[in-house]
A and B are shown apart, each in its own frame.
Chain A
């Protein structure tokens, strides 16, 4: 593909807003874009292993059809014909939704999740379903039943998780953007590991209808994109009240792209000192410090403060999330739409054997932990205490947001680790979620954006946390920083 002026145009390198521009100027067609992605998938997917289900053949047909309808004036949407990848825990009618589990290996959803409906209403093109840790339980995508996704920056490293397929696919440019879900960091941490942008919206901003539930009071769907503007564009599409999700909030629609002012003068940024202590890698600290200096240069006001509850919140998170999971995963019983054990004597055996044979080790571990903390004698000692800690952290955040517009932290204590390094040590894997979980426990929005690379060239992510429904504030803060450091222009996976 030649650009005007003879310069080679690499379609898959472009952001979605750049693709939109080129479609508008008729430099590209919808079929050009889809074909470029299908070719790129052929070239890269073997290495990256981001997809569980590929829809490339259907995508090319769809692209032709949408191109036709756009030319005839039947479709006018600005995102018509833009491809996307979807994490495999969101229901897609007629297409397998496996949740990365043997339990749902053959499950074909009878309906679309609300977010998928919204994507379809825009006439976007689904390139396929993306890999994830089984039932979104994990931080490396190694717990997928199907495959291990690789980090495009270094194929020996994990992409993070649980939305590792989504983040790796965006980083490898085999999808222009993707949807992920985040229960304790599952959008932000893989985005950090893969050098892309990931936004976890405020709890209630995006409908969870059709998202296979892990921990219902913490789960939230959000965009994983190449840059902040794309995150704002995709959030515009997926946000909004849905009567099918009673926890979705009825608030007026906002155009998030209008919040991107490229100006943080006077913005008050709080730095919680507990996020820079023991356990946070030195190179990560240095990179975040540099980001803080950059914000100062850009005119933001920086102040350190204390959020001393964070270790307790991590403990509280694993209690609450596992308790909710043990209840939510009770529905996988071998009867209606799941795996069923081939040999059984009675109904109880169907339940027990199907669950034991089809859930992976980590899922069983969390069901056992959740059942334990909810069981008689332990409820008050664990579950109730965890819910009280939840109140405490919300109070601490409320107090912080009286003083600050944004709270800035690392997204993860480390960069991406080696495949296999932590998969046999569950507690160590849990402890690495320290920077992200408090955002879910308090129901706040958080965005991860790349802020640098370490000596090995692996990306480092910075997290910006906002008050409830203040996505505009963190998007603008992220955008302003992104425009100043131009990460994408300076660093790329090989």
Chain B
């Protein structure tokens, strides 16, 4: 699989890069917990370093520096997530950034990649062409909630209660209420016959994907009902990026001050770096999950040589 992936991108003139796994700064993402460690040296002040949850922090610098389309296969680390059939705290990520492209172009590229990976044994749920649904369509079809008409949290919460969910009276974000509905009635019931691109996520889910009205130019790819990849049309407007950085960092600090988890610094110049990128669309794909599905296996433990769960036993 790795050889096929490299040959696919090499053949399309993407440059393979190898960026650091240890970084002193990260892009703020309040929902992803990090692993922290320290660099100790008798001649220098001690520095806190983080295992990257995704290589994007360095890859985006290269894109801003004019390296063109690039890809990387690297180990990434996410703390505090459960260890289960589809999760391991250390995992292998494929990230590819295509310049002068948007998220719709990335769908076509990803379909070609899947075409290159498929062989006679490949199950239909990994075989292109991909099915496509927007989040709005899927939510409407699977539970009759019209997201565009419930843009306020209180009205979405009323919909959730109508569907029988318990929504506590404590204040919560629109995104949290949306996830209650999405995770109960939508995600488990998405059509699984073919790979599925779930497109145009609600704008209330903050991220660095371009916003278009109430939606963002972002998709996720599901194979056999399992989330495999996430794609953005990358935001490049400085004011939007700065806004995201300050809002998300504030959320992250509030959350981690409560939980005591490490808080990674952010690079004060990074918003400028992102704004200097050419038009670009990035895809991040979990390769362990992909390999599991390609091999018709049911859990990551069957494809990882040393899953953490067995190491800890």
Partners in one complex: no
A contact set with B: CB distance below 8 Å: none
B contact set with A: CB distance below 8 Å: none
